């Protein structure tokens, strides 16, 4: 497993350093199977003659990132699915509030992990850093099988959150090392699609394992996937300059961008800017809604419509596949409006407004008498979240130089995780005291409009942050 010492091409104090110039040009943070197919087809067919000449080994690396992200989301989904299993609930015996605290532990660790993982990736390089992250979270995922109480699961979830925080920073850093600027958006879209694929695979696989072999094996077998991935990663990954399978032409293509300053931009220089707070508060207000979907949708379907662990798979798959459409559509819409001559400010915020309005009907989901009406309302909201997320991420590259993007995304990621902590505890307490999802879905339906109002108030014209002028 020894490897040549790695050095970082860019640096960031809190996160992996480089993020694509525009995430709305790709499928954004959570996409799915159709997004993956579209992205891969585009990658392999565009400029086919050029691709044949320079080689495509970089897309092998991208495929590894995709599978790592898929595993990441499978591992975090297992507990939410098992929470609908009667045998599991009988053995653990927790209440709604305790389940909320368990998820709060995951979010707290995820926020802490985002603070430190960027520096670790810079210090050890992506080959070693990513290896350590997936070993850490895979052991933590398997360790859930030892838990027998809410406290035990809280410890396991905290450990899982620390490890899983390494996935996206490591993947973004790998894309920065292996892809030229013009391909980074596509590569990021492909690996990000693994998050939704993981959300689709988990409800199909976990119930089968739990019913036939016991809930402990659901944690163990899904946790083992990380070690299988690790073998391929160690065999396939080196930095481009050191890789024996990379042609000179492909290396030249990867390194075709002009050199940029690798100056560290401390968080202290970014926090005074309104653009930083616009992104961070947007993440703080809307990221928690997605966490509610991930952790509580199986329980909502179970308690409201009586679906057991073997029946929740199809509704969840429908929700996340529809979310895939939103991911593509949200990014496409703003890019299309810009091509039609709209200003970046008007295009981004118009797309975000449409997405925010599309989430509003979820307020009625808990009152729907028909299962598929509820699934339809949640699916639209999930799709709108992904379209919103595409444009929210792109606000960073619209308003900051590339060397600052990683740090700003790190600040926003931590803000989203803190919001996730708060909502996990809040949702648990609400359900413990009322047993109703009505107020939870009202929060979900209104969060995006509030977030857009905050963003527009802070950056009404979406003007770039003047970091260079400030330094001068």
Q: What is the pLDDT of residues 197-228, one digit of tens each?
A: 898 999 999 999 999 999 999 999 999 999 99
pLDDT at 470: 55
The angle that helices 313-339 and 371-399 make with each other, rounded to 10 degrees, is 40
Q: Give CA–CA dist 183/40, Å, rounded.
A: 12
Please write the tens of the pLDDT for every residue from 221-233: 999 999 999 999 9
Would you state the structure tokens that stand for residue 292, as one six-digit string?
Answer: 């509610």
405 in Cβ contact with 418 (< 8 Å)? no
Cα 184 to Cα 58, 176, 190, 348: the distances in Å are 11, 7, 10, 20
| pLDDT at residue 206 in the model | 95
Residue 120 has pLDDT above 70, yes or no: yes
By CB atoms closer than 10 A (0-12, 13-18, 19+), residue 303 is middle
Confidence of residue 15 (pLDDT cuts 50, 70, 90): very low
pLDDT at 414 over 80: yes
Overall size of the chain counted in residues: 472
Question: Could you tell me if residue 447 is inside a domain?
Answer: yes
In a domain, 200, yes or no: yes
Residue 385 to residue 286: CA distance in whole angstroms: 8
What average pLDDT does the chain have? 85
| Total domains in the fold of the chain | 1
- The rounded distance, in Å, linking the Cα atoms of 46 and 33 is 20
Decide if pLDDT at 135 tops 90. Answer: yes
Nearby residues of 200 by Cβ (< 8 Å), 6 or more positions away: 32, 33, 316, 317, 320, 321
CB 113 within 8 A of CB 161: yes
Is 328 a member of any domain?
yes
Residue 264's pLDDT is what?
Answer: 62
9 is a domain residue: no
In 3-state terms, what secondary structure has residue 435? coil
- Of the pLDDT bands very low, low, confident and very high (cuts 50, 70, 90), residue 52 is low
Burial class (CB in 10 A: 0-12, 13-18, 19+), 41: exposed
In this prediction the pTM is: 0.81
Phi, psi dihedral angles at 262 (to 5 degrees): -100, 25
Give yes or no for a contact between 18 and 400, defined as CB atoms under 8 angstroms apart: no
> What pLDDT was estimated at residue 81?
95
Q: Domain of 283: which CATH number?
A: 1.20.1250.20
User: Which pair of tokens denotes residue 332?
Assistant: 């496409």
Determine which of 81-90, 255-264, 295-304 has the lowest per-residue pLDDT on average.
255-264
Asked if the model's pLDDT at residue 7 lies above 80, the reply is no
- What whole-number distance in Å separates Cα of residue 9 and Cα of residue 374? 47
Domain that holds residue 173: 23-253+262-463
Q: Is residue 354 part of a domain?
A: yes
- Asked if pLDDT for residue 257 goes beyond 80, the answer is no
């Amino acid at each position: 497993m020894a490897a040549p010492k790695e050095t970082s091409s860019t640096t960031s104090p809190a996160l992996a350093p480089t993020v694509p110039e525009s995430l709305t040009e790709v499928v954004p943070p959570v996409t799915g199977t159709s997004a993956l197919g579209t992205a891969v087809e585009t990658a392999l067919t565009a400029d086919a003659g050029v691709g044949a000449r320079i080689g495509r080994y970089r897309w092998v690396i991208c495929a590894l990132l995709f599978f790592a992200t898929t595993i990441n989301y499978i591992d975090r989904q297992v507990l939410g699915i098992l929470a609908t299993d009667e045998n599991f609930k009988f053995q653990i015996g927790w209440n709604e509030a305790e389940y909320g605290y368990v998820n709060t532990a995951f979010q707290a660790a995820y926020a802490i992990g985002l603070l430190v993982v960027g520096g670790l990736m810079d210090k050890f390089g992506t080959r070693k850093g990513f290896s350590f992250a997936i070993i850490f979270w895979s052991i933590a995922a398997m360790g859930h099988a030892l838990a027998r109480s809410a406290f035990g699961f809280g410890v396991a979830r905290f450990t899982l959150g620390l490890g899983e925080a390494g996935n996206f920073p490591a993947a973004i850093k790998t894309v920065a090392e292996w892809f030229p600027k013009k391909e980074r958006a596509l590569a990021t879209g492909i690996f990000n699609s693994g998050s939704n694929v993981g959300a689709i695979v988990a409800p199909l696989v976990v119930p089968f394992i739990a019913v036939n072999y016991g809930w402990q094996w659901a944690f163990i077998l899904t946790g083992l996937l990380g070690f299988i991935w690790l073998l391929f990663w160690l065999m396939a990954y080196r930095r481009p300059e050191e890789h024996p399978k990379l042609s000179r032409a492909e290396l030249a293509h990867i390194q075709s961008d002009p050199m940029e300053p690798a100056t560290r931009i401390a968080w202290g220089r970014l926090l005074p800017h309104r653009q930083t707070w616009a992104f961070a508060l947007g993440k703080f207000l809307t990221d928690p809604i997605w966490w509610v979907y991930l952790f509580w949708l199986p329980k909502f379907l179970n308690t409201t419509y009586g679906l057991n662990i073997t029946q929740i798979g199809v509704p969840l798959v429908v929700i996340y596949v529809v979310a895939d459409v939103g991911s593509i559509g949200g990014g496409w819409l703003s890019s299309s409006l810009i091509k039609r001559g709209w200003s970046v400010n008007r295009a981004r915020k118009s797309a975000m407004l449409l997405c925010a309005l599309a989430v509003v009907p979820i307020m009625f989901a808990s009152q729907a008498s028909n299962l598929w009406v509820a699934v339809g309302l949640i699916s639209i909201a999930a799709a709108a979240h992904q379209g919103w997320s595409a444009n929210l991420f792109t606000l960073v590259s619209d308003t900051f130089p590339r060397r600052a993007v990683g740090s700003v995304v790190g600040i926003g990621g931590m803000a989203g995780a803190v919001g996730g902590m708060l909502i996990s505890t809040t949702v648990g307490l609400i359900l413990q005291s009322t047993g109703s999802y009505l107020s939870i879905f009202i929060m979900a339906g209104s969060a995006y409009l509030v977030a857009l109002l905050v963003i527009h108030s802070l950056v009404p014209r979406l003007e770039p942050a003047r970091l260079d002028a400030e330094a001068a």
